[in-house]
């Protein structure tokens, strides 16, 4: 599945912004406070809404009044257009959340797409304030519109998503794919010191947001996916000179230690004595070689602590993941990282009168023209080309 | 309205010009492109000449002389500009370095860094002719007791420098060149 477009209204700094032609690997640059993390958090918000409800999703973020763009009343709106696969129809999921009597309610929730290439967009699900209609026999992409059966439905509460609340949608491909994307969405905001911490013995398949379960995932990979684990080691050895192997050791006290073996010494180093860059590189490899890839992976500023030359290879690694696994969004400030990516991959966020605008590098004729002449994204970013032609 | 693009050796020149130019010229828009030193500038500026697709753009290249031969530097740059079909690019050299221009206006350095009596150095025979000072950056740091900061001081100097009374010849040649393009 691939997201093609994201439209946001009245969500924090995004008062009205659209991201068009979202690529398979999407690199987002922008100054501090321009809204990069907020953009990622849209998926977090949708996930909280789906696994729980919008009241919880809002409360986690300080409540409706904190979340809705300053000086606006709302509604908060998201519209995500996606395709299940390269050639399939464009599906639109639309959600509008307002406030009524101080209670957040779902003003509108729509799932729509065209039946056939010439048909009109058809609302497979259309709900407002807990009531609406839903198709009960989705004839995905084929079939005759006349055969569709619609039913009036009422949800248990007005803050529950219909896409979650209606059991029949689980069998609908479009709804199921979208639900799966939101459910398995992952953000990586890696914190070195978290990754160094010793963990009580346990079990973890996926690297957590901050990487604090690295030792456990290492153990899992070593035991359950030894081939993958070995390819991670191979990559690590090529990138970090001296490293021979990595393992997780269970201590007598029942905790798991991550250890790095340096070829020059007999005894391995505990993670807490290994360089930041080494741990980070290892953690990204563990994240990217995950046997169950995330359909949507967001990575916060991967550059910190990494040696500039490693960033080129890391960018290639993310690209590879986006080809074989899911879609990847990466926020960055790093010119070195940007130098390794393509014009088509890059978007930038810039604040205008307090609200974020989303710009696409490819649509900027000056940037595109300079790239054609052999310039690189990172240099242009550093030289101030992402702010517009005139600095004043 | 003319659009000028300045191809610069480093951030400090950008910091200076972004604050100085609007005080001198009101009828232009401009963009400063800082490179990472001379070799980056020399190696990569042609891409900007070729790729910069904004109509009515004039290019200005500014680099430090740094004890190289002015004539050779200019000719070399000129040749590349001609090859890139931008023969009318203005090429200017700060002799010896950007900081020579600050020696040409020690009054403004004095104000910006809040050091009293710095301007008396302009009658010192070592500093009297700004463009002849061999290592102006080092010297400026020395006489300011290391208070001079390349980027932030340049920015502030740009804000207040009396550009009509600068004793650096290369500074005046630079400004005259700009006037010719703009007016
Ligand atoms: N309700 C709101 N209305 C407008 N702006 C908001 C609102 N909530 C937060 N912001 C702004 O959003 C920005 C947060 O951006 P963030 O996503 O953390 O940026 P980045 O990750 O790019 O550094 C801050 O500048 C903050 O002031
Ligand atoms: Mg952030």
Residue showing tokens 């300011």: B144
Three-state DSSP class for B57?
strand
Q: Which residues of B, range 61-80, sit inside 8 Å of A by Cβ?
A: none
Domain boundaries, chain B: 2-95+167-182, 98-165
Residues A9 and A38 in one domain: yes
Return the CATH fold of B2-95+167-182: Rossmann fold (3.40.50)
Q: Is the CB of A74 under 6 A from ligand 1?
A: no
A50: containing domain: 2-23+32-185+346-357
Give CA–CA dist B166/B151, Å, rounded. Answer: 20
What pLDDT is attached to residue A192?
Answer: 84
* pLDDT tens readout for residues B37-56: 999 999 999 999 999 999 88
pLDDT at residue A228 in the model: 93
CA of A59 to the centre of ligand 1 (A): 17
Mark whether A282 and A249 lie in a shared domain: yes
Q: What is the DSSP letter of B84?
A: T
- Least Cα separation, residue A5 to chain B (angstroms): 29
Dist CA A46 CA A58 (whole Å)? 10
The total of other beta-carbon atoms located within 10 Å of residue A39's CB is 27
Q: CB B48 to CB A371 under 8 A?
A: no
Query: Alpha carbon A254 to chain centroid distance?
Result: 34
Look-up of token digits 């439209």: A7
With beta carbons less than 8 A apart as the criterion, state whether B71 and B78 touch: no
Residues of chain A with pLDDT under 50: 389-392
d(CA A48, CA A104): 14
Contact assignment for A369 to B47 by CB distance below 8 Å? no
Q: Which two tokens stand for residue A161?
A: 């998503």
Q: Are both A332 and A353 inside the same structural domain? A: no
Looking at this predicted complex, what is its ipTM? 0.83
Is residue A280 within 8 Å of residue A305, measured between CB atoms? yes
Q: Looking at the 3D structure of chain A, how many domains does it have? A: 2
For residues A113 and A162, state if they share a domain: yes
Average pLDDT, chain B: 94
Q: Is A221 in the same domain as A336?
A: yes
The confidence score (pLDDT) of residue A148 equals 75
Task: Clarify whether residues A143 and A198 are in a common domain.
Answer: no
Best of A13, A16, A43 for a ligand 1 pocket test (most atoms within 8 Å of beta carbon): A13
Contacts of residue A123, defined as CB under 8 A and 6 or more positions apart, other chains included, come to A110, A111, A112, A133
Q: Kind and range of the H or E element at B17? A: helix B11-24
Tell me how far the alpha carbon of residue A34 lies from the centroid of ligand 1, in angstroms.
6
Residues in chain B: 183
Return mean pLDDT, chain A: 89
Element (H, E) at A95: strand A90-100
Residue A40 falls inside a structural domain: yes
Q: Are residues A288 and A351 in the same domain?
A: no
Kindly compute the dihedral angle of the four CA atoms of residues A279, A191, A40, A354, in this order, to the nearest 10 degrees. -130
Pair (A161, A210) in one structural domain: no
pLDDT tens sequence across A262-279: 877 888 877 777 888 888
Same structural domain for residues A217 and A150? no
- Dihedral angle, C-alpha A192, A198, A201, A202, nearest 10 °: -20
Other C-beta atoms closer than 10 Å to the C-beta of A237 total: 15
For A102, residues 6+ apart whose C-beta sits below 8 A from its C-beta are none
Rounded to whole angstroms, how far apart are CA atoms B2 and A384? 20
- Distance, in Å, from the CA atom of B122 to the CA atom of B161, rounded to the nearest integer, reads 15
The Cα of B90 is separated from the nearest Cα of chain A by a number of Å equal to 20
Rounded Cα distance, A103 and A301, in Å: 36
If asked whether residues A173 and A227 sit together in one domain, one would say no
- Calpha distance A332→A323 (Å, rounded): 20
User: Which alpha helices (H) appear in chain A, and where do they start and end?
Assistant: 36-51, 54-60, 64-67, 162-165, 173-184, 192-196, 214-224, 226-239, 276-288, 308-324, 335-339, 365-372, 377-382
Tell me what pLDDT residue A391 has: 36
pLDDT at B70: 86
Residues of A in contact with B44 (CB under 8 A): 375, 379
Q: Please name which of B3, B19, B22 lies closest in space to residue B11, comparing C-alpha atoms.
A: B19
For B3, name the nearest residue in chain A, comparing CA atoms only: A390
CB atoms near residue A49 (< 10 Å) = 25
In the prediction, which pLDDT does A272 show?
74
Spacing, Cα A37 to ligand 2 middle (Å): 4
What span, in angstroms and rounded, lies between the C-alpha atoms of A366 and A388?
9
Q: Where is A153: in which H helix or E strand?
A: strand A150-154
Whether omega for the bond prior to residue A311 falls within 30 degrees of 0, making it cis, is: no
CB contact under 8 A, B52 and A365: no
* Tokens coding A93: 């999921």
- Angle (CA) A311-A342-A336 rounded to 5° is 30
Range B113-139 average pLDDT: 93
Q: Contact, A280 vs A192, CB < 8 A?
A: yes
Looking at the fold, whether A220 and A351 belong to one and the same domain comes out as no
- Does residue A127 lie in a domain region? yes
- Measuring CA to CA, which residue among A330, A286, A289, A339 is closest to residue A312? A339
A237 and A154 co-located in one domain: no
Q: B104 and chain A: CB distance < 8 Å anywhere?
A: no
């Amino acid at each position: 599945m691939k997201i093609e477009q994201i439209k946001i209204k009245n969500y924090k700094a995004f008062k009205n912004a659209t991201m068009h032609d979202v690529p398979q690997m999407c690199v987002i640059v922008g100054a501090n406070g321009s809204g990069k993390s907020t953009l990622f958090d849209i998926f977090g918000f949708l996930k909280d809404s789906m696994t729980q409800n919008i009241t919880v999703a809002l409360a986690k973020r300080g409540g409706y009044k904190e979340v809705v763009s300053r000086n606006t009343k709302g509604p908060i709106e998201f519209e995500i257009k996606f395709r299940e696969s390269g050639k399939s129809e464009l599906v639109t999921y639309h959600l509008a959340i307002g406030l009524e009597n101080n209670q957040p309610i779902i003003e509108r929730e729509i799932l729509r797409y065209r039946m056939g290439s010439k048909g009109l967009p058809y609302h497979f699900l259309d709900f407002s304030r807990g009531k609406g209609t839903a198709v009960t026999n989705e004839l995905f992409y084929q079939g005759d519109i006349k055969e569709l059966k619609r039913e009036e439905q009422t949800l248990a509460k007005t803050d529950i998503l219909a896409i979650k609340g209606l059991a029949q949608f689980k069998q609908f491909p479009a709804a199921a794919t979208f639900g799966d994307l939101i459910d398995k969405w992952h953000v990586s905001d890696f914190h070195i010191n978290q990754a160094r911490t010793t963990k009580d013995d346990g079990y973890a398949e996926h690297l957590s947001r901050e990487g604090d379960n690295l030792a456990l995932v290492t153990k899992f990979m070593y035991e359950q996916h030894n081939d993958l684990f070995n390819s991670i080691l191979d990559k690590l050895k090529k990138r970090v000179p001296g490293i021979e192997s990595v393992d997780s050791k269970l201590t007598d006290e029942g905790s798991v230690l991550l250890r790095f073996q340096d070829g020059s010494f007999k005894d391995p180093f505990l993670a807490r004595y290994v360089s930041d860059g080494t741990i980070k590189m290892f953690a990204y490899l563990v994240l990217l070689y995950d046997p169950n890839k995330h359909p949507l992976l967001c990575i916060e500023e991967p550059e910190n602590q990494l040696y500039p030359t490693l960033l080129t290879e890391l960018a290639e690694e993310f690209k590879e993941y986006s080809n074989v696994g899911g879609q990847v969004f990466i926020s960055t400030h790093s010119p070195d990282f940007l130098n390794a990516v393509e014009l088509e991959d890059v978007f930038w966020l810039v604040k205008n009168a307090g609200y974020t605008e989303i710009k696409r590098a490819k649509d900027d004729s000056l940037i595109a023209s300079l790239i054609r002449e052999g310039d690189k994204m990172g240099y242009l970013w550093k030289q101030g080309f992402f702010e517009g032609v005139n600095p004043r | 309205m003319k659009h000028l693009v300045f191809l610069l050796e480093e951030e400090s020149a950008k910091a200076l010009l972004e604050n100085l130019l609007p005080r001198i010229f009101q009828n232009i828009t401009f963009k400063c492109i800082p490179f990472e030193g001379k070799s980056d500038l020399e190696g990569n500026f042609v891409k900007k000449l070729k790729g910069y697709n904004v109509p009515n753009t004039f290019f200005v290249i500014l680099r430090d002389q740094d004890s190289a031969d002015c004539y050779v530097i200019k000719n070399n740059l000129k040749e590349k500009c001609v090859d890139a079909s931008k023969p009318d690019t203005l090429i200017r050299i700060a002799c010896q370095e950007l900081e020579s221009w600050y020696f040409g206006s020690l009054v403004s350095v004095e104000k910006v860094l809040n050091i009293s009596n710095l301007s008396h150095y302009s009658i010192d025979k070592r500093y009297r002719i700004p463009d002849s000072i061999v290592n102006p950056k080092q010297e400026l740091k020395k006489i300011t007791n290391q208070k001079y900061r390349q980027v932030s001081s340049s920015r502030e100097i740009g804000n207040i420098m009396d550009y009509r009374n600068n004793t650096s010849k290369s500074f005046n040649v630079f400004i005259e060149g700009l006037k010719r393009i703009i007016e």
